[in-house]
Amino acid sequence: LPEDMAVGRYTLCFSTSSGLSFAGGEAPVDALVVGSLFVTSRVDVGRTYVVAPGVAQSLEVTGERLVPAKDRVMVIAGHESCGVGVAVTGVVTAAGGVVQHAAAQGTATHLDFGPITFANGGSYKLCFCDRTFFDGFSQPREHCNEDADFAVEVGVVQVSGLECMLNNPRHRRTSCRPMALGGLRCGDDII
């Protein structure tokens, strides 16, 4: 990707004459659309979350210009792709609702989604809806209400009984911080 690529939603195209290219908005007429590319600077990505099954905990998202009343996340199966996958069942909020579009508490740099309970162990993905991708679209609509809107992969959620062991820094290879309601948020740049 170009270093100076602007934040936004791009159509990923392939053409036999020009190869792989990015298009803002609609794809060129002679190109085959092969997917979408989302470039964001609002949310930190590459995170690993470690939580225990059957326990109410939180998932924390960090970044810039976050809006607690509007920003949302979705939890999908670990083998799915953000923006394509659907919310998993067996992951519930304190109110009993499925974590599909959970509202958050927090600040402009830190959002806390929870309490959330994962009924079963396994690997999941945490997807974020960046509302700024939709700015300027000619068809106004409510954003962050459809599974396809959650196209930014924040990270992987590992639900395992090993969470208690990983609280000890000797048993992990990366930096981790405890989250407000339990569990760990990990990444190479976590201080």
pLDDT at 49: 92
* Whole-number pLDDT of residue 140: 44
Reduced to 3 states, what is the DSSP secondary structure of residue 8?
strand
Rounded distance between C-alpha atoms, residue 49 and residue 95, angstroms: 22
What confidence tens digit (pLDDT) does each residue in 140-169 have?
Answer: 446 677 888 888 999 999 998 775 555 556
pTM here? Answer: 0.77
Question: Who's near 2: CB < 8 A, 6+ residues apart?
Answer: none
| Residues near 81 by beta carbon (within 8 Å), at least 6 away in sequence | 153
- Mean residue pLDDT across the chain: 77
Provide the strand spans (E) within 78-130: 91-93, 105-106, 110-118, 122-129
pLDDT at 126: 93
